[in-house]
Structure 1
């Protein structure tokens, strides 16, 4: 797949204008993060995974283009670990709102806003609710909820016979996707398991309120040691398919 067929940031403005006029009126905005991912993954992990997912989604839709991934995101729970960056919620919200306002002026009519970082989900739902009110002539989708994404992680674990809780932050899933799309940003010799266990809504709430260091010194939720590149390909297919299903439902329910 040629990324410049879908990535807005790699196109000239006349090319973008022509694509919109020909019916590519959906823009995909991924909100990601710049934050720690344990000993073995780069701080760009969520951004890399988010862009790969957005590109896969755009290719399948056929009428969508991909906005520059928004980074950093809301990562207060990772701040104790060096290099992590977090935005103030109002700054984060303003960036998304300005993306939408800009793309609206260019002729985009549908917007898919999804997150590749768990800390953004709750705010994204609030933001999209407000966007629907501010831009009633446009259609919006938040992609998946955090719990829907967690269900996909459970599906991933069952498919590959992994222990429950192996695929959280920096675990088997993210490591597999990174091995597939950006292996140069993975050091498997340093892959170290962190907290492994069921991530209930209560556990997630505690994580976001108290920080990841409260449950793991490594900065990992899950176990990355068994990750494989081919597993990453599977998850990109699964994630992009579910984003499309969610978007179709949201757009049809307008």
Structure 2
């Protein structure tokens, strides 16, 4: 399986050492979350999405390993719903920084950082800037911005002729990926549409003030009902192709 070829946590240390010595000097660090995803998806949705993306990027790049997916993340607005866990920003930042410090000691020089959870992106920007100051001898690459992810989801809606707003939190996009990657953790019989309006400034303010329950009782932004496993597989290929292109553009300058 791919995960045993690329994921550090599934290797013994001599294997990791031999891969680094053979040229695998790039490592992917993905941050995720443990949080509610409506009635129909498990709380591990974001780590599963992040692992699927990281493995595809590593395989396409070559000479790249994947660090253990970081979770929990920053999920304060999901806390009204049982099972969600959130870290303090300073703890979250410290974990990411310690990942880098640890992996640097073993010889990794290129650090590819991305998040599979929208709530992490704002803090990730600060962490990224600080890491470049802390480790000027390393190369840090962020191939996926929040705006870029939102744009890809909008393209997803257009491609499959879904209503605008279908692909928010636990909507058609994430549900499709979960059907493709972990169907045993999807209960489509319980899937229900949540908030399907525009997530404008007013709606976002309400969500962050009251938690996601301020917008939706089911914990969903969008509509999961049109989801299909084939959609999820196609999206994963598209988003990781886009990420790899951005990573290679940076690597060309090194």
Into which bin does the TM-score normalised by the smaller protein fall?
over 0.9
C-alpha distance in 1, partners of 2:182/2:86?
23
Q: Does 1:93 align with 2:86?
A: no
For residues 241-252 of structure 1, the aligned pairs below 5 Å read 241-252=241-252
For these two proteins, the number of residue pairs brought into alignment is: 254
Q: Does 1:74 align with 2:70?
A: no
The secondary structure found in structure 1 opposite 2:28 is: strand
Please report the TM-score for the alignment, with normalisation by the length of structure 1. Answer: 0.96
TM-aligned CA deviation for residue 247 of structure 1: 2.5
Q: Sort the Cα spacing of 1:183 and 1:26 in 2 relative to 1 into closer, same or farther, 3 A.
A: same
Structure 1 equivalent of residue 233 of structure 2: 233
Q: Does 1:137 align with 2:137?
A: yes
Per-residue deviation, residues 33-64 of structure 1 (Å, max 9, x unmatched): 00000000000000111001100110100121
Give the unaligned 5+ runs of structure 2. none
TM-aligned CA deviation for residue 239 of structure 1: 1.6
C-alpha distance in 1, partners of 2:25/2:233?
27
Root-mean-square deviation over aligned CA pairs: 1.5
Q: Sort the Cα spacing of 1:48 and 1:164 in 2 relative to 1 into closer, same or farther, 3 A.
A: same
For residues 201-240 of structure 1, the aligned pairs below 5 Å read 203-204=203-204, 207-240=207-240
Q: Does 1:65 align with 2:65?
A: yes
Q: Does 1:188 align with 2:188?
A: yes
Name segments (4+ residues, structure 1) moved above 4 Å.
200-206, 250-254
Per-residue deviation, residues 119-170 of structure 1 (Å, max 9, x unmatched): 0001111101000011011000122111110000000000101000000100
C-alpha distance in 1, partners of 2:162/2:27?
35
TM-aligned CA deviation for residue 204 of structure 1: 4.3
Structure 2 equivalent of residue 119 of structure 1: 119
C-alpha contact 2:39 2:190 (8 A) present in aligned 1: yes
TM-aligned CA deviation for residue 212 of structure 1: 1.1
C-alpha contact 1:213 1:219 (8 A) present in aligned 2: yes
C-alpha distance in 2, partners of 1:200/1:121?
17
C-alpha distance in 2, partners of 1:125/1:109?
20
C-alpha contact 2:33 2:46 (8 A) present in aligned 1: yes
Q: Sort the Cα spacing of 1:113 and 1:204 in 2 relative to 1 into closer, same or farther, 3 A.
A: farther
C-alpha distance in 2, partners of 1:197/1:246?
31
Per-residue deviation, residues 95-122 of structure 1 (Å, max 9, x unmatched): 0000000000000000011000000001
> Which region of structure 1 is more displaced relative to structure 2, 168-177 or 232-241?
232-241
Give the unaligned 5+ runs of structure 1. none
Please report the TM-score for the alignment, with normalisation by the length of structure 2. Answer: 0.96
The secondary structure found in structure 1 opposite 2:30 is: strand
TM-aligned CA deviation for residue 207 of structure 1: 3.4
> Which region of structure 1 is more displaced relative to structure 2, 139-148 or 56-65?
139-148
